């Protein structure tokens, strides 16, 4: 059975990302601040963004010889001028790969080399690891620039070099080019270990923004959004960063989450719309300092990227009288697939991830490949114009996630009721979700096996209700000459943790087994 959206189809935008997000359907004036630094108060108005992003694009072309199809990597936490770099690159006809700034050099190296990045814009705090990765990736030092105002170790602020007087006319695309030209290359973990570059086209991003409007996202010029979720993550990249432009909203940007700063920012700027993840919500529930702040301006919170427990949702509403609604998506779907109607949030179905957004179809498949009907759980497969072009340089992986009818296989187990409300009940694929970030067990297992004491290893995710997230737990077998001690377990855990980004750390600990269970297919 094929399930269709409850919403009418929308018209698919027929243009490039830059042209779409600056189409200004809400007619906001150039002097309106659209991104404000929640710490310093620095701001970027709509007019400043348009001028500076086009000047940045000109600087890429004039100073670096940047051409259509070239790739720029951003390695930074949220910055109020992040959109200038991101969309200036798009205006110049380039692609952007957004990296987690907390990645170790080896992780950055993989992303730089696989994406083909030739220019880096880096936050000063993470310069050392970016430089280390850039050397092996063959990125010249004169193509590396910094956020901020200060020169560090000979590396200059991007504004001092790449923003001059000349503005370009942003590169345009025909409808066919927009649907086939990659704009962004976020990286998503796969069960085979190394992260894969997800090719999201101009049309993918534009249509997902239009789909959210069509699904009653309840955003507009009156919206003041919280910019706490990392812009390098597709959830925030689409809904917050790009969404700010298309809705004519204002976003208050914070580089990282801190309960006190978060609440102060809500109170000061009267934030009324928040995209969040469950770990943020649980910290707000558990920290008494929250009671010292006025959060009454917040009209609703959309939670996604990880499952939201019923207990947490109810407790949050009891404490703050703010409704939380769940959405659902993946990097490969740009990202939103299901969205809760927000006009009447109190009518939301408990536990539901909402209904299909416009122009998306879904089917639920049994283990033997049969299509299921209402209230029958199985694997969720989806099809729509927001689905990725494919995995970069990886046809085998791309082919594996699309069925013969062109449906994307999500790896999540779901069911749908007669009203079109979808529910996620489990995950079929092996990925661990830590606070909304993907962790591939195979990647951690491959590192564990390089430790001199480990003869075999398996990593699984175990859900910890206290943190409202899964934690990676490692099970290892030890070579005969080593003793199964607590000190050795800590040594193994540290050995892995120092080689990976913080979200990949084996926070659930290292446990011993005499033998790792194997399926027949695993040998």
Instruction: Output the pLDDT for position 343.
Output: 62
289 neighbors 268 (Cβ within 8 angstroms): no
240 neighbors 228 (Cβ within 8 angstroms): no
Instruction: Output the pLDDT for position 301.
Output: 95
Query: Rounded CA gap, 216 and 334, in Å?
Result: 18
Task: Please give the DSSP secondary-structure letter assigned to residue 520.
Answer: G
Q: Which two tokens stand for residue 368?
A: 């033997």
Instruction: Output the pLDDT for position 149.
Output: 96
381 neighbors 410 (Cβ within 8 angstroms): yes
Q: Which two tokens stand for residue 2?
A: 């094929």
How many other β-carbons are positioned within 10 Å of the β-carbon of residue 461?
19
183 neighbors 95 (Cβ within 8 angstroms): yes
Instruction: Output the pLDDT for position 519.
Output: 41
Give Cα 78 to chain centroid, integer Å.
12
Query: Rounded CA gap, 436 and 302, in Å?
Result: 13
Instruction: Output the pLDDT for position 342.
Output: 62
Q: 96: buried, middle or exposed (CB in 10 Å: 19+, 13-18, 0-12)?
A: buried
Place of tokens 């030092």: 141
Give mean pLDDT in consecutive 10-residue pieces for the chain, a chain of 523 residues.
Answer: 96 97 97 98 98 98 98 98 98 98 95 98 98 97 97 98 97 98 88 79 98 93 97 97 98 97 98 94 93 96 86 90 93 95 70 94 94 94 98 94 95 93 80 83 85 89 85 92 93 94 94 74 36
Query: Rounded CA gap, 176 and 172, in Å?
Result: 11
For each of the domains in the chain, give its residue range(s) and CATH number, in order of start: 433-522 (3.30.300.30)
Q: Which two tokens stand for residue 230?
A: 């990392």
Task: Please give the DSSP secondary-structure letter assigned to residue 376.
Answer: -
509 neighbors 503 (Cβ within 8 angstroms): no
Direct distance between the N- and C-terminal alpha carbons of the chain, in angstroms, rounded to an integer: 37
Of 380, 382, 392, nearest to 195 (Cα)?
Answer: 392
Query: Rounded CA gap, 286 and 341, in Å?
Result: 28
422 neighbors 408 (Cβ within 8 angstroms): no
How many other β-carbons are positioned within 10 Å of the β-carbon of residue 71?
20
Give Cα 195 to chain centroid, integer Å.
13
Residue 458 vs residues 442, 454, 507: alpha-carbon distances, Å: 8, 11, 14
Instruction: Output the pLDDT for position 522.
Output: 38
Task: Please give the DSSP secondary-structure letter assigned to residue 335.
Answer: S
258's CB contacts (< 8 A; 6+ apart) are: none
Strands 95-99 and 71-75: parallel
């Amino acid at each position: 059975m094929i399930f269709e959206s409850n919403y009418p189809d929308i018209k698919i935008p027929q243009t490039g990302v830059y042209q779409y997000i600056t189409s200004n359907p809400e007619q906001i004036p150039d002097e309106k601040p659209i991104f404000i630094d929640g710490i310093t108060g620095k701001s970027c108005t709509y007019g400043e963004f348009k001028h500076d992003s086009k000047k940045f694009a000109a600087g890429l072309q004039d100073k670096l010889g940047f051409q259509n199809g070239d790739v720029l990597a951003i390695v930074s936490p949220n910055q109020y001028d992040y959109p200038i770099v991101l969309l200036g690159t798009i205006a110049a006809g380039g692609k952007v790969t957004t990296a987690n700034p907390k990645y170790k050099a080896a992780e950055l190296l993989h992303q730089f080399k696989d994406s083909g990045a030739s220019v880096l814009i880096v936050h000063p705090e993470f310069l050392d690891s970016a430089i280390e990765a850039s050397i092996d990736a063959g990125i010249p030092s004169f193509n590396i620039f910094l956020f901020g105002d200060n020169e560090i170790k000979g590396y200059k602020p991007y504004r001092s070099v790449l923003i001059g007087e000349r503005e370009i006319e942003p590169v345009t695309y025909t409808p066919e080019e927009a649907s086939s030209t990659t704009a962004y290359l976020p990286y998503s973990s796969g069960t085979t270990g190394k992260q894969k570059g997800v090719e999201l086209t101009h049309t993918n991003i534009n249509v997902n923004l239009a789909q959210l409007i069509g699904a009653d996202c309840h955003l507009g010029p009156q919206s003041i959004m919280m910019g706490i979720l990392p812009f390098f993550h597709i959830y925030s990249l689409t809904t917050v960063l790009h969404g700010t432009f298309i809705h004519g909203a204002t976003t208050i940007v914070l580089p990282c989450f801190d309960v006190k700063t978060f609440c102060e920012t809500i109170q000061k700027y009267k934030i009324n719309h928040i995209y969040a993840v469950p770990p943020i919500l649980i910290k707000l529930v558990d920290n008494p300092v929250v009671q010292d702040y006025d959060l009454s301006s917040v009209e609703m919170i959309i939670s996604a990227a990880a499952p939201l427990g019923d207990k947490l949702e109810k407790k949050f509403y009891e404490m703050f009288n703010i409704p939380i609604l769940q959405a659902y998506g993946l990097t490969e779907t740009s990202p939103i697939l299901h969205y809760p109607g927000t006009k009447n949030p109190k009518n939301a179905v408990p536990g539901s991830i909402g209904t299909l957004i416009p122009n998306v179809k879904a089917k639920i498949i049994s283990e033997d490949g049969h299509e299921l009907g209402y209230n029958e759980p199985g694997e969720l497969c989806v099809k729509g114009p927001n689905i990725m072009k494919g995995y970069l340089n990886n046809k085998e992986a791309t082919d594996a996630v699309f069925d013969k009818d062109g449906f994307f296989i999500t790896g999540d187990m779901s069911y749908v009721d007669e009203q079109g409300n979808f529910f996620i009940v489990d995950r079929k694929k092996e990925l661990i979700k830590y606070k909304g970030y993907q962790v591939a067990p195979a990647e951690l297992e491959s590192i564990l096996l390089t430790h001199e004491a480990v003869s075999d290893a398996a990593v699984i995710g175990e859900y910890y209700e206290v943190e409202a997230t899964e934690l990676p737990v490692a099970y290892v077998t030890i070579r005969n000459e080593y003793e199964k001690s607590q000190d050795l377990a800590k040594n193994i855990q540290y050995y892995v943790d120092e080689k990976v980004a913080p979200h990949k750390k084996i926070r659930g600990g290292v446990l011993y087994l005499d033998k790792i269970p194997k399926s027949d297919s695993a040998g």
